[in-house]
Amino acid sequence: MKINWGTGVVIAFICFISFIMYFIITMSVNDKYDYDLVTEDYYGQELEFQEDLNKEEHSKTLTTNLSWTKSNEGIIINFPEDIDYKNITGTVFLYRPSNKQFDFEIPISLSKHNLLIPDKRLLDGRWNIKVDWKSSDNSYIYRTEIIY
């Protein structure tokens, strides 16, 4: 049986379409290739970006900024000593880039200038920490990436 050029073109098109269909079905069914946006409310957070930049600039006016240390109990976030800890309010958001199932938020309630994030809530690996806090009428934000 001899195949002419018209039959060869049809076979090539069928093979190409079959490959594309296999690729589309594999990408849509397999959970390994399932990726989402960074956050659910991505566009809403984009609108708040300028406010966050203002808070970040205001954080630079502090004599000492926030710091963190790793301990056996978890992560300790240290607030500036020159600010009264009773006036500090806000939230700590921990974002796990590899899996959004582990993201969580903790309200800030201090009895000292330290806030402990318990070890049982943290997995080994990379975390992004965002501390959005307020003291009196001043708003601040602190962001960092850590390897726990």
Residues 28, 92, single domain; the answer is no
The pLDDT assigned to 85 comes to 84
The pLDDT assigned to 27 comes to 86
Residues 60, 123, single domain; the answer is yes
Which domain covers residue 73, as residue numbers?
42-147
Q: Please name the residues in contact with 94: beta carbons below 8 A apart, sequence gap of 6 or more.
A: 103, 104, 105, 106, 117, 121, 122, 127, 128, 129, 130
Q: Is 83 a residue whose pLDDT tops 70? A: yes
Give residue-wise pLDDT tens across range 95-131. Answer: 888 877 888 899 998 888 888 888 888 888 888 999 9
Residues 69, 112, single domain; the answer is yes
Residues 68, 30, single domain; the answer is no
Query: How many domains does one find in the chain?
Result: 2
CATH number at residue 94: 2.60.40
Report, as an integer, the average pLDDT of 65-77.
89
Residues 138, 84, single domain; the answer is yes
Residues 30, 77, single domain; the answer is no
Residues 56, 31, single domain; the answer is no
Report, as an integer, the average pLDDT of 55-74.
87
Give residue-wise pLDDT tens across range 2-48. Answer: 888 989 999 999 999 999 999 999 888 887 776 666 666 777 777 78
Q: Is 140 a residue whose pLDDT tops 70? A: yes
